[in-house]
Structure 1
Amino acid sequence: MSIEKDSGGIGTRARAVGLAALRGLGLALVTLPGAVVGLVLALVSLALVPLGIGLITTPWVLTGVRVLADWRRVLAAQWGGVRIPSAYRPVAKDANPWTRTFGMLRDPATWRDLRWLPVDMTAGFVTALSAAVVVLYPLEGLAVAAGLWRPLSSSGGYWYGFVRVADQGSALAAGALGLALLALAPLAPRLLSAHFRLTRTVLGAGQGELAERVRVLTESRRDAVDTSAAELRRIERDLHDGAQARLVAMGMDLGTIEVLLDKDPEQAKKLLAQARQSSVDALTELRDLVRGIHPPVLAERGLGDAVRALALRMPVPTEVNVDLPVRADAPVESAAYFAVSEALTNAVKHAGADRIWIDLHHVREREGAGMLRITVTDNGRGGAVAGAGSGLAGVERRLGTFDGVLAVSSPAGGPTMVTMEIPCV
C-alpha cells in the first residue's frame, strides 16, 4: 500500500514538473514578443499625442496592453495561484478621443502596465524560460546519450554544458551530466510561481494607490450619505406641504360636511365634491412622490421599461434603444434610472433640444464582469459641463458611489452626448 502511495505521489509530482516546464516555455515564447510590441507601440503612440495622432491611437494601444496584462492576471491565478486584482478606472469608450486618452493616462494602473512591460521582457522572460530549462535541458542530455549526439556532432563536435560530445563515450558523459542536472527539475513549479509573483509585484496596486482608493471611496460614501439625507428632507417637505396638507384640509371638509348634512344638504354636496377632488390630488401627489423615490415600473419591469416609461412623459420626441440581456442589481438600476432622468431634464430645460436619443446596453469585459453603459444624446445648443452646481455634477456623484464614470461631450452648438458607465455583473 505504501509503495502504491509513493508511486502515485511521484507520478503527481512528475506531472506537475512537466506541466510547469511546458507552461514556462509557452510563456517565454509569448512574453518577449508581446512585451516588446506592446512597449514599442505605447511609446510611439504617446510620442504622437502632441501631434494629435496619438489621441486616436493611444486608447487602442493602452487597451491592448490592458488586455495583455489581464490575460497574465488570469494565468497567474489559474497556473500559479497568485491573484492580481485588476483595478482600472472606468473610462467611457464613447467619449471623445481627448477625454479617453487623458482619462486613461491619469489612471495609475496604466503606468503600472507600462512599467511592467520592460520587466516582463527581461526578468519575466528569464524566470519563465528557467522553468522550462531546468526540465528540458537535462532531458536533452539524456537524449544525447541515447544517440542524439550523432546528428548533432556531424559538423565536428557538440557542446553539452562543459562536455564536448564527439563520440559515444563523451555522449555518455553528457548523459551523466544531464542526469545530475535532472535534480534541479523539481524547481520548475517554483520558478513559474516566481514569475507570477514578480508579475504581481509590478502589476499589483501600491500602498499609495490603495490609500488614494480609500480616500475616493470615503468621499463617495460621504456624498451618498449627504444625498440620502437631502432626499429624506425633500420627501419630508413634500409630504408636509403636499399630501399631508391636502389630507388635513380634507378632514376639516368632512367635519364641516357632517355639520351641514342636515342643515344645508346642497352645501354639503359641494364640500363632498371638493373633498373627493382633494383625495384625488393627494393620491396623485403620493404617487408622484413614490415614483420619485423608486418608480414601481423600475422594480417590476426593470431599467429598460422604466426608461421607456420616462421617455413617454417627455415633452419632446425621445427614442430609446435597450439591449440588456439580464437585469442588473436593484441599486445599480436605481442609480442609472435617476441619472438618465437628470440628463433628460437638462436636455429639455437647459439645452433647448427638440429630439433626444437614449441607448442602454451591457458591455461584457471579463468573465463575470462588465459595464452598464448609457448614452443620452440631444440636438440642443450644447455647452453642457459637469461642473459644480450643475445637475450633471449630481449625476457624477451618484455614479461615483458605484465606481461609475460620467463623460460629457457638448461642443457649442451641439449636439450633446452624455455617456455613463456603471460596473455591474
Structure 2
Amino acid sequence: MADNKDMETRSWVRQGLRAVAVGVLEIVLSVFNVPLLVFWLVALALTPAAGIGMFALPLMTKVLRARTDLVRRLATGAGVVIARPYAPQPQPALTGGWRRFKWILTDPATWRDVAWLLPGGIIGAALGVLILLLPAYGLQGIILLPLWLHLGDVWYGYGVYWPIENFSEGLLSLPQGALFLAAGLIVAPQLRKVDALFAKLFLAPTRAAELRLRVAHLTVTRADTVDAQAAELRRIERDLHDGAQARLVSLGMTIGLAEELLDRDPAAARKLLAEAREASGIALVELRHLVRGIHPPVLAERGLDGAVRALAISMSMPVEVDIDLPGRPQTPVESAAYFVIAEALTNVVRHSGAQTAAVTIVYHDGTLAVVVLDDGHGGADPGKGTGLRGMERRLAAFDGTMTLSSPPGGPTVVTLELPCVLSSPKTSPSSATD
C-alpha cells in the first residue's frame, strides 16, 4: 500500500509539473496566433492578385494545421481526445493548383481552425498565466525563508537590528508557499483540461467529418482484422505442420517399425513402443499449447476474471488483480481483452524492469475498461516494437482503444477500453458449466 501511495504521489506531481510546462508553452505559442491569422487572411485576399494566393494559401494552411495539430496532441495529454477532422487531400498532392485550393476552402475544418485562432490564443494565454502563477507564488514563498534568514545574518554582521517580525514572516512563508505550490500542481492539470475542452469546441470534427472518419476507420480496421486473421491461420498451420503433425507422422512410422520387429525382436519392438508413447505425450502437449493460443480453456471455463487471475499467478513477479464484472462479455471481446492483457503483462516482464504490476478491470456505461500498471522504468514506445501495435490492432477490430502513458522513470499505465454488452451472471457460459 505504501508503494502504491508513493507511485500515486509521484504521478500527480509529475502530471502537475507537465501541466505547468505545457501552460508555459501555450503562453509562448499563443503569441503567434494573431500573426498566423493575419498572414492566412492576407494569403486568402491575394488569391485574385495574379493567383499568388493559390500558392501562398496552401503554405499558410499547412502552418495553421501544424499549429492546431499541436493543440490536439497537447489536449490528448490533458485527457481530451480531439480527432483530426480534415478531408483527404486531392491526388496528386501539389503545393499549389486549383484542386488543392478548392480542397482547402471547401473543408469546414479549415474555417473552424481559423475561427479558433483568436479566442483560442486568448484563452490559452490566460489559462497558461494562471497555471504558472499559482505554483510560482508558492515557490517564491518557500524560497523566501532562507532569503530572510540570510538577510538577517548580513544585517546582524553590520550591527544593524533586524526586527523579529521579519523572521516570523519568513517562517510563515514556508508552509504557505508549500500549500500554494501543492495547490498549483493539483489545479494545473484541471486548467489544462479546461483549455483542451475549449479547443475541442472548435477543432473537433463536425458530424459529417465524424462519419467520414468513421468510414475510414472501419476500412482500415477491417483490412487489419483480415490481415491479422490470415496471419493467425498461417501461424496455426505452421505450428501444426512443423510440430504436432511431424510428430504424429514420426509416431506412425515408429509404431510401424515396432509391428515389423514384434515377432523377431520383441525387445527392440518394446523400445520403439516406449519411444512412440513418449512422442505421443510430447505431441499432446504441443496440441494443448496450440489450443491455448487459439482460445485458452481457462477462459472458456472461468471467464475473464478467472483467466486473468490464473495469468497473474503464472507471472514471475507479484501482480495485483482487481476485477469488478457483473457478467461476461461476448466471447470475441472476452478473448481479445484476455490476449491484450497477456501481451501487456508479457511486455512488463520482458522490458519494464518492474518489481510489481497491477491489473484493474471494470465495466461502466457499456465499456469494458482495463488498466495495466507497473512500477518499471517507463519509456515504452509503440513505434519501437510490434507488440503494442498488435494490441492496438486487436482492439481496433472491436472499436476498442488503447492509451499508453509511460514517461521516463515510470510508471507505465496501459489503459484499454472495449465497448461491449455483458451477459447476466445467470446466463453466462461459466454459470451454465457450473
Out of 77, 82, 101, the residue aligned to residue 105 of structure 1 is 82
Alignment of 1:32-51 (within 5 A): 50-51=23-24
When residues 327 and 248 of structure 1 are mapped into structure 2, their CA distance, relative to the original with a 3 A threshold, is same
Per the TM alignment, residue 326 of structure 1 is displaced from its structure 2 partner at its CA by 0.9
Whether 2:400 is the aligned partner of 1:404: answer yes
Distance 2:353 2:264 in 1: 56
Distance 1:375 1:204 in 2: 28
The residue that corresponds to 2:380 in the other structure is 384
Classify the secondary structure of the residue corresponding to 2:340.
helix
Per the TM alignment, residue 100 of structure 1 is displaced from its structure 2 partner at its CA by 5.0
TM-score, normalised with respect to structure 1: 0.53
The residue that corresponds to 1:32 in the other structure is none
The residue that corresponds to 2:280 in the other structure is 279
Distance 1:247 1:297 in 2: 26
Distance 1:353 1:273 in 2: 45
Classify the secondary structure of the residue corresponding to 1:262.
coil
Q: Deviations over 1:381-401 (max 9, x none)?
A: 221112264301110111111
TM-score, normalised with respect to structure 2: 0.52
The residue that corresponds to 1:374 in the other structure is 370
Q: Deviations over 1:143-195 (max 9, x none)?
A: xxxxxxxxxxxxxxxxxxxxxxxxxxxxxxxxxxxxxxxxxxxxxxxxxxxxx
Distance 1:50 1:276 in 2: 70
Show structure 2 runs of 5+ residues with no match. 1-18, 28-72, 86-107, 113-203, 422-434
The residue that corresponds to 1:336 in the other structure is 337
Distance 1:349 1:358 in 2: 17
Q: Which amino acid aligns with 2:82?
A: L
Classify the secondary structure of the residue corresponding to 2:306.
helix
The residue that corresponds to 2:221 in the other structure is 220
Alignment of 1:192-211 (within 5 A): 206-211=207-212
Report if aligned partners of 2:76, 2:82 keep a CA contact under 8 Å in 1: no
Per the TM alignment, residue 352 of structure 1 is displaced from its structure 2 partner at its CA by 2.8
Distance 2:350 2:23 in 1: 38
Report if aligned partners of 2:75, 2:82 keep a CA contact under 8 Å in 1: no
When residues 238 and 204 of structure 1 are mapped into structure 2, their CA distance, relative to the original with a 3 A threshold, is closer
Classify the secondary structure of the residue corresponding to 1:417.
strand
Per the TM alignment, residue 217 of structure 1 is displaced from its structure 2 partner at its CA by 0.8
Alignment of 1:25-424 (within 5 A): 50-51=23-24, 99-101=76-78, 103-106=80-83, 206-364=207-365, 370-387=366-383, 389-424=385-420
Report if aligned partners of 2:305, 2:323 keep a CA contact under 8 Å in 1: yes
Classify the secondary structure of the residue corresponding to 2:255.
helix
Distance 1:350 1:402 in 2: 27
When residues 312 and 404 of structure 1 are mapped into structure 2, their CA distance, relative to the original with a 3 A threshold, is same
Classify the secondary structure of the residue corresponding to 1:104.
coil
Distance 1:372 1:347 in 2: 21
When residues 204 and 342 of structure 1 are mapped into structure 2, their CA distance, relative to the original with a 3 A threshold, is closer
When residues 105 and 205 of structure 1 are mapped into structure 2, their CA distance, relative to the original with a 3 A threshold, is closer
Report if aligned partners of 2:84, 2:205 keep a CA contact under 8 Å in 1: no
Q: Which amino acid aligns with 2:349?
A: V
Distance 2:266 2:316 in 1: 44
Report if aligned partners of 2:380, 2:406 keep a CA contact under 8 Å in 1: yes
Distance 2:413 2:205 in 1: 35
When residues 204 and 346 of structure 1 are mapped into structure 2, their CA distance, relative to the original with a 3 A threshold, is closer
Per the TM alignment, residue 341 of structure 1 is displaced from its structure 2 partner at its CA by 1.1
Per the TM alignment, residue 204 of structure 1 is displaced from its structure 2 partner at its CA by 10
Q: Deviations over 1:327-375 (max 9, x none)?
A: 11111111101111111111111223332211111122xxxxx211111
Instruction: Return structure 1 stretches of 4+ with deviation > 3 angstroms.
Output: 51-54, 96-100, 105-108
Classify the secondary structure of the residue corresponding to 2:321.
strand
Classify the secondary structure of the residue corresponding to 1:105.
coil
Q: Which amino acid aligns with 1:261?
A: L
Distance 1:424 1:259 in 2: 59
Q: Which amino acid aligns with 1:104?
A: V
Classify the secondary structure of the residue corresponding to 1:336.
helix
Over the matched positions of the two proteins, sequence identity in percent amounts to 56
Distance 2:373 2:231 in 1: 29
Per the TM alignment, residue 52 of structure 1 is displaced from its structure 2 partner at its CA by 8.4
When residues 204 and 393 of structure 1 are mapped into structure 2, their CA distance, relative to the original with a 3 A threshold, is closer
Show structure 1 runs of 5+ residues with no match. 1-45, 55-95, 116-202, 365-369
Per the TM alignment, residue 299 of structure 1 is displaced from its structure 2 partner at its CA by 1.9
How many aligned positions are there?
A: 245
Distance 1:279 1:353 in 2: 39
Q: Which one has a bigger Cα radius of gyration?
A: 1
Q: Which amino acid aligns with 1:232?
A: L
Q: Deviations over 1:244-264 (max 9, x none)?
A: 011011111101111121222
Per the TM alignment, residue 415 of structure 1 is displaced from its structure 2 partner at its CA by 2.1
Report if aligned partners of 2:22, 2:74 keep a CA contact under 8 Å in 1: no
Report if aligned partners of 2:392, 2:402 keep a CA contact under 8 Å in 1: yes
